[in-house]
Amino acid sequence: KAGVTQTPRYLIKTRGQQVTLSCSPISGHRSVSWYQQTPGQGLQFLFEYFSETQRNKGNFPGRFSGRQFSNSRSEMNVSTLELGDSALYLCASSLGDGGNSPLHFGNGTRLTVT
């Protein structure tokens, strides 16, 4: 069974631009969660989607948004990029609730904002 697939693997953007990251979950997994990982803050929860609905949201500004499609694939968007948005963005899928079911992470998208 294929794992979680994230594209692209690397991105370099300029301050003020916007970016869209893509995630394909493990087949059969309907929950998709997004996390941001930085050296200083560690892994922080962004949001979780289940059946095309945002079920939970972390403490990030409105510049961070996401959506989920009917095939469970998910995208996250960051608008008006800031230098502090440079991070590894991880998508994870699970069979059930993203807080009680094991999460399976993709390889991540490393975003660099210059």
Partner 1 sequence: QKEVEQNSGPLSVPEGAIASLNCTYSDRGSQSFFWYRQYSGKSPELIMFIYSNGDKEDGRFTAQLNKASQYVSLLIRDSQPSDSATYLCAVGQGGKLIFGQGTELSVKP
Residues binding partner 1 (CB under 8 A): 33, 35, 42-45, 48, 55-56, 58, 88, 90, 97-108
Query: Minimum CB separation from partner 1 for residue 72, in Å?
Result: 17
Using the minimum distance from each CB to partner 1, give the nearer residue, 14 or 53: 53
State the number of CA atoms in the 13 A half-sphere of 92 facing the CB: 23
Q: What is the dihedral of CA 98, 2, 109, 48, to 10 degrees?
A: -20
Query: Minimum CB separation from partner 1 for residue 92, in Å?
Result: 8
Query: Minimum CB separation from partner 1 for residue 103, in Å?
Result: 6
Q: How many CB atoms lie within 10 A of CB 71?
A: 10
Using the minimum distance from each CB to partner 1, give the nearer residue, 36 or 81: 36
Using the minimum distance from each CB to partner 1, give the nearer residue, 19 or 94: 94
Structure tokens at 60: 């990030």
Query: Minimum CB separation from partner 1 for residue 16, in Å?
Result: 28
Chain centre distance of CA 9: 12
